[in-house]
């Protein structure tokens, strides 16, 4: 039996998944959680082979939960099942340690197959997700920030506002915003905090001290 934990903040989605998965003789749904914190508690008590994880949830979102599960329960496989197909969401989930990434409009047979493959530790990506990820891997130039982009990001890391950065670097505020947008795209993130975090994690940015 493949023991599955459902993690999604929408009860209707969990109920639908429960009905689908229960139709398979080799699947057993061992629990349901509405956020990452609940999921960690259930794994502590009941365990699971595969966690079906949404990304956007209250208290602890999917990416944070994936990191925690990987750190505390390394044998548990994580299959992301979400509506979000943006590059940044995919990259962050995979980097955090997700075994697979599917979109919620996936056909049921593909979902069943993905759960079985994930239980064996095999990576599973739906075709649209795989195409996006491969596109990013080919675009190695995207990882390279310009000198000016690094300067802007370093000041963001120090807590400077766009206006303060513009004054410090003697450029317009609009130019600061443009540099930040390019940086977000290259790092595969959506906001300033994530940009600084990812840049530090990858060794692109080093904070003083």
The one-character DSSP state at 97 is T
Tokens matching residue 208: 């003083």
From residue 51, alpha-carbon distances to 13, 108, 117, 168, 182 in Å are 15, 17, 13, 47, 34
Tokens matching residue 146: 């310009």
Mean model confidence pLDDT for the chain: 87
CATH fit for domain 147-202, picks 1.10.10.10, 3.40.50.150, 1.20.140.10, 3.40.630.30 = 1.10.10.10
For residue range 161-201, what is the model confidence (pLDDT) as tens digits? 999 999 999 999 999 999 999 888 888 788 899 888 888 87
CATH fit for domain 2-138, picks 3.40.50.2300, 3.30.2310.20, 3.40.630.30, 3.40.50.720 = 3.40.50.2300
For residue range 116-132, what is the model confidence (pLDDT) as tens digits? 999 999 988 877 777 66
pLDDT of residue 142: 45
pLDDT of residue 207: 67
Residue stretches of the chain with pLDDT short of 50: 138-142, 209
- 3-state DSSP call for residue 120? coil
pLDDT of residue 87: 65
Q: Rounded to 5 degrees, what angle do the CA atoms 99, 105, 106 make?
A: 50
For residue 177, what are the contacts with CB-CB under 8 A and spacing of at least 6?
A: 162
- pTM of the complete model: 0.65
pLDDT of residue 94: 84
pLDDT of residue 138: 47
Backbone angles phi, psi at 62, to 5 degrees: -60, -45
The one-character DSSP state at 76 is -
For residue 102, what are the contacts with CB-CB under 8 A and spacing of at least 6?
A: 79, 80, 81, 82, 110, 111, 114, 124, 125, 126, 129
Q: Rounded to 5 degrees, what angle do the CA atoms 57, 192, 188 make?
A: 70
pLDDT of residue 187: 82
Helix 173-187 / helix 162-169 crossing angle, nearest 10 deg: 110
The residue ranges of every structural domain in the chain are: 2-138, 147-202
Instruction: Indicate the Cα dihedral angle 201, 124, 87, 133, nearest 10°.
Output: 80
């Amino acid at each position: 039996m493949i023991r599955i934990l459902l993690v999604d903040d929408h009860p209707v989605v969990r109920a639908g998944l429960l009905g689908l998965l229960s139709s398979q003789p080799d699947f057993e749904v061992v629990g349901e959680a509405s956020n990452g914190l609940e999921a960690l508690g259930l794994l502590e008590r009941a365990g699971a082979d595969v966690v079906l994880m949404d990304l956007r949830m209250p208290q602890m979102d999917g990416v944070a939960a994936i990191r925690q599960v990987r750190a505390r329960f390394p044998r548990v496989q994580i299959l992301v099942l979400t509506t979000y197909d943006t590059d940044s969401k995919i990259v962050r989930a995979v980097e955090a340690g997700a075994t697979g990434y599917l979109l919620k409009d996936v056909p049921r047979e593909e979902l069943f197959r993905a759960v079985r493959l994930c239980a064996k530790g095999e990576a599973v990506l739906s075709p649209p997700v795989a195409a996006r990820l491969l596109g990013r891997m080919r675009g190695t130039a995207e990882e390279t920030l310009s000198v000016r982009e690094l300067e802007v990001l370093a000041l963001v890391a120090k807590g400077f506002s766009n206006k303060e950065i513009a004054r410090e670097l003697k450029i317009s505020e609009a130019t600061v915003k443009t540099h930040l947008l390019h940086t977000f795209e290259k790092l595969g993130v959506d906001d300033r905090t994530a940009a600084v975090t990812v840049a530090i994690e990858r060794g692109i940015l080093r904070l003083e001290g």
